[in-house]
């Protein structure tokens, strides 16, 4: 019996798999992924150059993609120690797309926390936790901001004629010690 193999069925899937595995694709996306891998491996200077190229190549892509590229470039600058450029990239990512760049809020909050700009860190991290409510990292950083904040001073209440001043020299006496004992044959209230 003669059998016929349908060679054409698997060919498109095989070509697509080869393209994905070999990294063939738009150069902007390749540079973006390469920059991300360089950040993860700790090669921040190389990542900065690669991500600069990626941001230039991705200028015609959708805004969320551009925001992701700017955020990764900011992260590379941040980890390389250039905080001013990192802040600039995070702000640009947020300007491009506030929802897709939620991670830029997190990174900006971490940068503000490092610089002890606690009110800005709190704002950025609060925005991040509202957009990514299931990510506990945002809540942890927000807790760090709240514990690093100086305690609020409560306004002093003016003393009145009925106010009692409690000092170590004049401690507050328990109520039973301040009342006279009940008279015999009467019940105490």
pLDDT tens, 34-88?
A: 999 999 999 999 999 999 999 999 988 999 899 999 999 999 999 999 999 999 9
What would the DSSP string read from start to end of 19-86?
HHHHT-S-HHHHHHHHHHHHHHTT-HHHHHHHHHHHHHHTTTS-HHHHHHHHHHHHHHHHHHT-HHHH
Residues of the chain with CATH 1.25.40.10: 23-99
Give 23-99's CATH code, choosing from 3.40.50.360, 3.30.830.10, 1.10.287.70, 1.25.40.10. 1.25.40.10
pLDDT band at 112 (very low <50, low <70, confident <90, very high): very high
User: Which residue, 17, 76, 74, 8, is CA-closest to 41?
Assistant: 76
The whole-number pLDDT of residue 151 equals: 59
The reply to whether the predicted model has a pTM over 0.75 is no
The whole-number pLDDT of residue 186 equals: 66
pLDDT band at 174 (very low <50, low <70, confident <90, very high): low
Residue whose entry in the numeric block shows the structure tokens 């969320």: 64
Percent with pLDDT over 70 in the chain: 66
């Amino acid at each position: 019996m003669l059998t016929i193999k349908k060679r054409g069925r698997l060919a498109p899937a095989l070509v697509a798999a080869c393209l994905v595995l070999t990294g063939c694709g738009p150069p902007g996306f390749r540079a973006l992924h390469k920059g991300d891998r360089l950040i993860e491996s700790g090669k921040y200077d190389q990542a900065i150059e690669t991500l600069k190229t990626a941001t230039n190549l991705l200028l015609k892509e959708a805004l969320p993609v551009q925001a992701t590229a700017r955020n990764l470039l900011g992260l590379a600058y941040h980890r390389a120690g250039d905080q001013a450029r990192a802040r600039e990239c995070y702000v640009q990512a947020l300007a491009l797309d506030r929802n897709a760049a939620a991670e830029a809020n997190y990174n900006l909050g971490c940068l503000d926390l490092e610089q002890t700009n606690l009110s800005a860190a709190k704002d950025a991290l609060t925005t991040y936790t509202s957009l990514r409510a299931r990510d506990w990292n945002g809540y942890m950083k927000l807790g760090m901001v709240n514990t690093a904040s100086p305690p609020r001073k409560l306004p002093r209440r003016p003393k009145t004629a009925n106010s009692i001043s409690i000092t170590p020299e004049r401690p507050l006496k328990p109520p039973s010690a301040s009342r006279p004992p009940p008279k015999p044959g009467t019940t105490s209230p």
